[in-house]
Amino acid sequence: MLRQFAGSVAFTLVALIAALAYGWLDTGSPAATAGFAWIVIVLAVLEISLSFDNAVVNAAVLADMDAVWQRRFLTWGMLIAVFGMRVVFPLAIVALAAGLGPVDALVLSLTEPARYEAIVSSAHGAIAGFGGAFLLLVGLGYFLDEDKAVHWLGWIERPLATFGQIRALAIALVLGLLMLIARTLPGHEALVFVEAGLGGIVAHVAVEAIGTLLESHEAARRAAGVMIRSGLGGFIYLNVLDSSFSFDGVIGAFALSNNMVIIALGLSVGAMFVRSITLLLVRQGTLAQYRFLEHGAFWAIIALGLIMLASARIAIPETITGLIGAVLIGLSLWASRRTA
């Protein structure tokens, strides 16, 4: 088990050293420098608590992927998760919202952190619409499956499986929620929220379509006697899903710091540990051993999607988000042990 976390521990040490060096160069104060390192640790814990359900879902998809694509997700995907979502994504928001170039956005993040935070926070409605819609479709897609035979919360999961016969039901439900929430928002905010939500729906449909096309291609090659599993569809799906999970962590990080360097270091450490947890779940066959753990993770995804959508209207602390996910996964783990 310890070997799975060796890379994450090494990365954490490097990140803490970088935070201490940056803090000393930026402030020259021992107390402020120590404070920077402490915030990195707290942000890492926040990211892990918010993303444990992500690790479970990732493990469920990775378990069916070819070993080559598993490694690619855990390496190339790590670059996307750390550099793409924790550094490039906030800078892209600032560049688009403020009409700045990439370099100017980077300079703004380093020289005017308060303004940088304000611009990123102002885009919360769009982020909530896109991420909430995408995650809700992921969660509902798991339960709206007429072929699903194993149920944890049977009183609700069995009817949902039956309703899985209704095509595009999940999309209709998400569209209905988007419209309901949009009616409570001011005109421009409502438009941005709905447009972003539609973008999340389109992204989910596109990813599913790509996966279906690749699976068809793969089946044809197997029929021709070529034994190969590309895993590309799963790779794309996992990275989009992983990015959606990152939205709340990136936005919530500004509650602790508006320093882009410290936020990137802290969230990256958390992302590394989430990858290690994912790998541990896959290699130890934990999902097969605990039959309801996956159910708990997908209920947590639905809860996170609903919270993200609702957060466009009301402020919801990240501690509540993390607690709901932890409780659902904990209960599913307990139920699995009882029925083992």
Kindly report, residue by residue over 82-101, the tens digit of the pLDDT. 777 777 878 887 787 777 88
Residues contacting residue 214 through CB under 8 Å, at least 6 positions apart: 230, 232, 233
Which residue in 182, 231, 226 sits closest to 211, CA to CA?
231
pLDDT at 201: 94
Each residue's pLDDT tens digit, 262-292: 888 888 888 888 888 888 888 888 877 888 9
Residue 297 to residues 59, 301, 304: CA-CA distances in angstroms?
A: 11, 6, 10
Q: Which two tokens stand for residue 334?
A: 């307990």
Is 253 or 24 the better-scoring residue by pLDDT? Answer: 24
> Residue 37: how many CA atoms within 13 Å on its side-chain side?
14
339 Cβ partners below 8 Å, 6+ apart?
291, 292
**pLDDT band of 255, cuts 50, 70, 90:** low
Least confident of 4-18, 66-80, 172-186, 286-300: 66-80
**Structure token digits, residue 157:** 């999961």
Listed in sequence order, the DSSP H helices in 253-292 are 260-283, 286-289
User: What integer pLDDT is reported at residue 55 of this predicted model?
Assistant: 84
Look up the pTM and report it. 0.80
Residue 127: closest CA among 28, 44, 200, 29: 200
Nearest-angstrom CA–CA distance, 182 and 173: 14
pLDDT of residue 229: 45
Alpha carbons 251 and 129: distance in angstroms, whole number: 14
Count other Cβ atoms within 10 Å, centred on residue 206. 12
